[in-house]
């Protein structure tokens, strides 16, 4: 053998790992320990182990995106590792199915022993949110204090430092901004594309006006919606106007990054754009998976707590629902669909460059 042998039990350090299964109800009330506390501990430890893995993947991706020139082979690595993160995040809801085999009455057997411990104090989950790009001013406010004030040191300081540096979102934005644009003296792609988009929505207006199945009230409502959108189109394709919307919080991506993401989405079938499009799609899937998990978590909390406050002092169910609504990172990628047009209406372009 090339290396010294090691046993499965020792490699996974199972003695140390399994000794962490220590019930607080057994320590504080030895005569009546809560059986289901074991399940509660196991599920939350499993979460933290998966969070640990997600952080390792995101750190590796951040290292790749730090470069101002990304090799094509590295883009495949980015896609592969993001897909792994997505699968982990999709499976975050599965432990909740197991946890819900514990009834609210079972939970009450040990709930009082948990104060003020709460999932809100999970440093690893806050690190994941921060690494992805969730900023402090984009978070649902809790107890009028910064979210990191509820963390222990040194994790608290680590999160504060992460907030200062570029997140994965900002690195992605920088990468998108380096996408070449099709603008020459003889051809301005975005002017041509804007005309196609406006024509498409004007056609919709004509359909609404002549549709006999719509009432006058429905026609007015639909017409107003499209006209309001057309007014925004003028702003989105004008850099100064877009920057004003950016300051107001209507967009998160920079003007160049948003248009690059739109271009990639429009010409996704081109070989050079297939991996970049897949990366953008996975990022939306990750946002969706996290939102689904947050909402599912809020349903479980409602089932277990009713209208009680959480062990960490939050409003329990309401707080979790609010985070599901507000804590989305890649919203601009979702909103791209508003600016898409059918393939057969796309301006003809020659795409023969790599993306860096």
DSSP sequence for 111-156: GGGSTT--GGG-HHHHHHHHHHT--GGGSPPBTTB-GGGGSPTTHH
Q: Which two tokens stand for residue 262?
A: 């739109």
How far apart are the C-alpha atoms of 201 and 178, rounded to whole Å?
Answer: 30
Q: What is the pLDDT of residues 274-301, one digit of tens each?
A: 999 999 999 999 999 999 999 999 899 8
How far apart are the C-alpha atoms of 20 and 220, rounded to whole Å?
Answer: 64
Residue 315 has pLDDT above 70, yes or no: no
How far apart are the C-alpha atoms of 47 and 327, rounded to whole Å?
Answer: 19
| pTM of the predicted protein model | 0.89
Residue 144 has pLDDT above 50, yes or no: yes
Residue 167 has pLDDT above 50, yes or no: yes
Q: Which two tokens stand for residue 158?
A: 């680590």
Q: What local confidence, expressed as pLDDT, does residue 189 receive?
A: 86
**Better-predicted residue by pLDDT, 69 or 54:** 54
Residue 183 has pLDDT above 90, yes or no: no
Q: Is 188 helix (H, G, I), strand (E, B) or coil?
A: strand
In the block, tokens 């406006």 appear at 198
**Better-predicted residue by pLDDT, 140 or 343:** 343
At residue 143 the predicted structure's pLDDT band, cuts being 50, 70 and 90, is low
User: What is the CA angle 323-100-307, rounded to 5?
Assistant: 50
Residue 355 has pLDDT above 90, yes or no: no
Domain 8-180+255-340, second-level architecture = Up-down Bundle (1.20)
pLDDT over 90 percentage in the chain: 70
Judge whether 84 and 57 are in contact, CB under 8 Å. yes
Residue 8 has pLDDT above 90, yes or no: yes
Domain boundaries defined on the chain: 8-180+255-340
Lowest mean pLDDT among 154-168, 190-204, 302-316: 302-316
Lowest mean pLDDT among 53-57, 92-96, 138-142, 181-185: 181-185
Judge whether 253 and 247 are in contact, CB under 8 Å. no
**Better-predicted residue by pLDDT, 77 or 70:** 77
Q: What local confidence, expressed as pLDDT, does residue 320 receive?
A: 80
Q: What local confidence, expressed as pLDDT, does residue 313 receive?
A: 47
User: What is the CA angle 204-333-48, rounded to 5?
Assistant: 145
Give the phi and the psi of residue 142 in degrees, each rounded to 5.
Answer: -130, 115
Q: Which two tokens stand for residue 16?
A: 């140390």
Residues 6+ apart with CB under 8 A from 300: 96, 99, 100
Q: What local confidence, expressed as pLDDT, does residue 138 receive?
A: 80
Q: What local confidence, expressed as pLDDT, does residue 310 receive?
A: 55
Q: What is the pLDDT of residues 117-128, one digit of tens each?
A: 888 899 999 999
How far apart are the C-alpha atoms of 285 and 330, rounded to whole Å?
Answer: 10
């Amino acid at each position: 053998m090339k290396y010294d042998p090691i046993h499965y039990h020792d490699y996974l350090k199972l003695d140390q790992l399994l000794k962490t299964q220590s019930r607080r109800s057994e320590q504080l009330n030895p005569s009546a320990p809560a059986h289901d506390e074991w399940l509660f501990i196991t599920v939350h430890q499993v979460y933290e182990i998966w969070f640990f893995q997600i952080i390792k993947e995101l750190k590796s991706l951040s290292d790749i995106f730090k470069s101002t020139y990304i090799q094509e082979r590295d883009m495949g690595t980015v896609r592969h590792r993001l897909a792994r993160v997505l699968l982990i995040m999709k499976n975050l809801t599965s432990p909740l199915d197991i946890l819900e085999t514990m009834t609210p009455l079972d939970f009450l057997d040990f709930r009082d022993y948990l104060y003020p411990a709460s999932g809100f104090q999970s440093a690893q989950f806050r690190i994941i949110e921060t690494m992805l790009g969730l900023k402090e001013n984009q978070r649902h406010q809790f107890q009028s204090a910064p979210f990191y004030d509820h963390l222990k040191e040194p994790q608290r300081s680590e999160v504060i430092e992460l907030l200062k540096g570029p997140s994965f979102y900002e690195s992605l934005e920088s990468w998108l901004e380096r996408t070449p644009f099709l603008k020459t003296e003889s051809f301005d792609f975005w002017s041509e594309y804007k005309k196609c988009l406006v024509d498409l929505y004007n056609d919709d207006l004509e359909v609404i006006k002549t549709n006999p199945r719509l009432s006058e009230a429905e026609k007015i409502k639909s017409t107003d919606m499209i006209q309001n959108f057309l007014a925004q189109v003028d702003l989105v394709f004008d850099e100064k106007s877009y920057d004003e919307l950016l300051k107001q919080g209507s967009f998160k991506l920079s003007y160049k990054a948003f248009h690059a993401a739109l271009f990639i989405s429009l010409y996704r079938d081109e070989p050079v754009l297939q991996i970049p499009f897949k990366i953008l799609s996975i990022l939306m899937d990750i946002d969706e998976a996290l939102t689904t998990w947050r909402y599912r978590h809020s349903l479980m909390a409602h089932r277990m707590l009713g209208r009680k406050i959480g062990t960490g002092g939050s409003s329990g169910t309401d707080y979790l629902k609010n985070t599901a609504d507000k804590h989305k990172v890649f919203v601009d990628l979702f909103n791209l669909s508003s600016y898409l047009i059918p393939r057969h209406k796309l301006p003809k372009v020659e795409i023969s460059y790599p993306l860096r």
